[in-house]
Amino acid sequence: MESSTPKPFTRAGFLNELEHAGEWDIIIIGGGATGLGTALDSASRGYKTLLLEQADFAKGTSSRSTKLVHGGVRYLAQGDIALVYEALHERGTLIANASHLVHAQAFIIPCYDWVSVMKYYAGLKLYDWLAGRLSFGKSEFLKAGDVLQALPTIKPNGLKGGIRYYDGQFDDARLALNIAQTAAEQGATLLNYFKVTGLTKTDGRISGVKAIDQESQKEYILRSKVVINATGVFVDDILQLDKPAAKPTVRPSQGTHIVLDHRFLQGTSAIMIPKTSDGRVLFAVPWHDHVVVGTTDTPLDAHSLEPRALQQEVDFILDTAAQYLTPAPRREDIQSVFAGLRPLAAPDKNTQSTKEISRSHKITVSSSGLLTITGGKWTTYRKMAEDTVDRAIQLGKLVYVPCSTKHLHIYGGDRERSAIDKLIHTDANLATRLSPGFNYQHADVIHAVRAEMARSIEDVLARRTRLLFLDAQAALQAAPVVTQLMAEELGLDKAWQDAQLESFFQVARSYLNEQTLPEIEQTL
């Protein structure tokens, strides 16, 4: 173990660290919420920590959530009190440590019969009680007129009233990046586009990893006292590097969302539909001056870095929204569609119902000493990381240092804005917007490359900014100027620009409303 020293958040700097590191205390595979949280926990305790991500930070599930920091009203209805209690308390910790990204959000459950009023009022009072002093606000009954005032687009016919309660909302990809930056400040080394291709063993025990830098194609053998598999829906790929016949531990479930103009949800309150036609929940949430509507819960047998929304999922969201919103959103109103895969812990029995798959996290250690963390949710990422590092300390026989992340503030906010303002002060042209109607500027692109390890157009338009998630057509139209700015900053040629544009177009296709796709293809 060595004392942590802050590092600048640059890929070149981290590569230099890697070249001269020697043995690590902990190597973490996976740069989503769980892996990044684990890197932060480990580094903040003073352990020599390396995180490797095969794509970009939060490329997968961790940038494709419903944008909620919540205890889980659905889990409360299922009787999973322990999970709800843990999540509510972690929700309180998160808003305290990342107030620049997490804020309280009012939700309203519209009720069209009095039985629903009584049932949800009682359930949400229990939700308040479980939150205790970390409550975001007291639940309350609203008369029909008050519901209509707060939700002008809700269908009024038969409305009896509603229950207003409070949960949290956040920007998932931005929080992931800020956690990574905080981990770096605590001494961690983090590398994106760095794929683990094998595990090394000494006398049958895990002693490190084989990995390849996907930019330079240089291969590395990296030694570590503990290796942590925190790869989300890809955990079984790593487990099979350890044991080729390993039994699957994760069952992916796809969640799809659509993004609409803010006119479909006027005001500041969100809507929670507690029971859809398939017995699940649906949210309509204001986010970055748009509305995110979702999610679905579709069991899948395969996983990918770029999952595509199924048409039946989009139809389900539109059909359900039409039962509550006026006017009802139509397919042509969709500005972006995105799908993510949840890494749910697989059940012991064969099932097609994700209701039977645990949302709790689970830590396992293989006979060779590979530590794997599965399950969980964004809200509980910090507690998952704490539990994981506690187990890693035992496994690697590290000197015990207590967890300190409960009161560790996450990087970001004014510091980011100040850096971008300095760029604009140096070059006024960098104040130019990437797209009309959005506040993203050319300076955001330069900052993303210099200080946030963005390596592709998609990194910038999907995760450093959220333009692809908010308006896929606008993101495609902004892509050429982003490519040019990045090429100039990185010193890359036209061949790189052409390849980037082609690659981004292929990714962006899955975010586009299918009715606008032919039109876009003709203009690009």
Nearest-angstrom CA–CA distance, 490 and 455: 9
What is the pTM (predicted TM-score) of this model? 0.94
How would you write 430-477 as a 3-class SS string?
A: HHCECCCCCCCEHHHHHHHHHHCCCCCHHHHHHHHCCHHHHCHHHHHH
Name the token pair of 11. Answer: 């890929």
Q: DSSP string of 39-61?
A: HHHHHHTT--EEEE-SSSTT-SG
Q: Is the pLDDT of residue 6 over 80?
A: no
Q: Which residues pair with 433 in a beta bridge?
A: 441
**Topology of the domain covering 97-170+251-349:** D-Amino Acid Oxidase; Chain A, domain 2 (3.30.9)
Residues of the chain with CATH 3.50.50.60: 11-61+174-249+355-407
pLDDT tens digits, residue range 465-481? 999 999 999 999 999 99
pLDDT tens digits, residue range 224-249? 999 999 999 999 999 999 999 888 88
pLDDT band at 7 (very low <50, low <70, confident <90, very high): low
Q: State the residue for tokens 């506690």.
A: 390
Percentage with pLDDT > 90 across the chain = 78
Question: Are the C-beta atoms of residues 384 and 376 closer than 8 Å to each other?
Answer: yes
Q: State the residue for tokens 């130019």.
A: 432
pLDDT band at 134 (very low <50, low <70, confident <90, very high): confident
β-pairing verdict for 24-29 and 49-52: parallel
pLDDT band at 498 (very low <50, low <70, confident <90, very high): very high
Percentage with pLDDT > 70 across the chain = 94
pLDDT band at 178 (very low <50, low <70, confident <90, very high): very high
Residues of the chain with CATH 1.10.8.870: 414-523
Question: Are the C-beta atoms of residues 64 and 338 closer than 8 Å to each other?
Answer: yes
Q: Cis (ω within 30 of 0) for the bond into 327? A: yes
Question: Are the C-beta atoms of residues 257 and 295 closer than 8 Å to each other?
Answer: yes
Q: Which of 265-279, 288-302, 343-357, 496-510 has the lowest mean pLDDT?
A: 343-357
Q: Is the pLDDT of residue 355 over 50?
A: no
Q: Which residues pair with 273 in a beta bridge?
A: 282
Average pLDDT of the segment spanning 513-520: 55
**Topology of the domain covering 414-523:** Helicase, Ruva Protein; domain 3 (1.10.8)
Q: Which of 51-60, 194-203, 492-501, 509-518 has the lowest mean pLDDT?
A: 509-518
Q: Is the pLDDT of residue 303 over 90?
A: no
Q: Which of 36-50, 193-207, 271-285, 405-419 has the lowest mean pLDDT?
A: 271-285
Q: What local confidence, expressed as pLDDT, does residue 383 receive?
A: 96
**Residue 333 or 347, more confident:** 333
Residues of the chain with CATH 3.30.9.10: 97-170+251-349
β-pairing verdict for 219-229 and 205-213: antiparallel
Question: Are the C-beta atoms of residues 68 and 207 closer than 8 Å to each other?
Answer: no
Residue 373: strand, helix, or coil:
strand
Nearest-angstrom CA–CA distance, 15 and 12: 5
Q: What local confidence, expressed as pLDDT, does residue 346 receive?
A: 64
Q: State the residue for tokens 């309350």.
A: 140
CATH 3.50.50.60 for the 11-61+174-249+355-407 domain, yes or no: yes
| Orientation angle between helical segments 381-396 and 33-44, nearest 10 degrees | 60
pLDDT band at 345 (very low <50, low <70, confident <90, very high): low
